[in-house]
Amino acid sequence: MQTTVFDQQLPLAIGCDHAGFQYKTRIIEILKDAGWQVEDKGTYDEESTDYPDYAHPVASMVEEGKAAVGILICGSGNGVCMSANKHQGIRAALCWNEELSSLARLHNNANVLCIPARFIELATAEQMVDVFLSTAFEGGRHERRVDKISC
User: What band does 111 get if pLDDT is binned at 50, 70 and 90?
Assistant: very high
Which amino acid is located at 37 in the chain? Q
pLDDT of amino acid 3? 86
Residue 76 CA: distances (Å) to CA of 38, 108, 122: 23, 21, 14
Q: pLDDT (tens digit, 9 = 90+) per residue, 26-47?
A: 999 999 999 999 999 999 999 9
Q: How far is CA 45 from the centre of its chain?
A: 19
pLDDT of amino acid 136? 96
Strand partners for 92 = 112
Q: Is the pTM of this model over 0.95?
A: yes
- Give the helix, strand, coil percentages of the chain, each rounded to 5: 40, 15, 45
Helix (H/G/I), strand (E/B), else coil: 39? strand
pLDDT of amino acid 151? 83
Query: What CATH number is given for 12-146 in this structure?
Result: 3.40.1400.10
Ordered by start, the domain boundaries in the chain are 12-146
Rounded to the nearest 10 degrees, the angle between the axes of helix 122-134 and helix 98-106 is 20
Report the C-alpha gap between 117 and 32 in whole angstroms: 20
Catalytic residue among 56, 87, 95, 107: 107
Could you confirm whether 81 is annotated as catalytic?
Answer: no
Report the C-alpha gap between 29 and 31 in whole angstroms: 6
Largest Cα separation within the chain, whole Å, is 45
Report the C-alpha gap between 39 and 13 in whole angstroms: 5
Catalytic residue among 74, 81, 95, 114: 74
Could you confirm whether 16 is annotated as catalytic?
Answer: no
Q: pLDDT (tens digit, 9 = 90+) per residue, 52-107?
A: 999 999 999 999 999 999 999 999 999 999 999 999 999 999 999 999 999 999 99
Give 42-109 as a DSSP string: ---SSS---THHHHHHHHHHHHTTSSSEEEEEESSSHHHHHHHTTSTT--EEE-SSHHHHHHHHHTT-
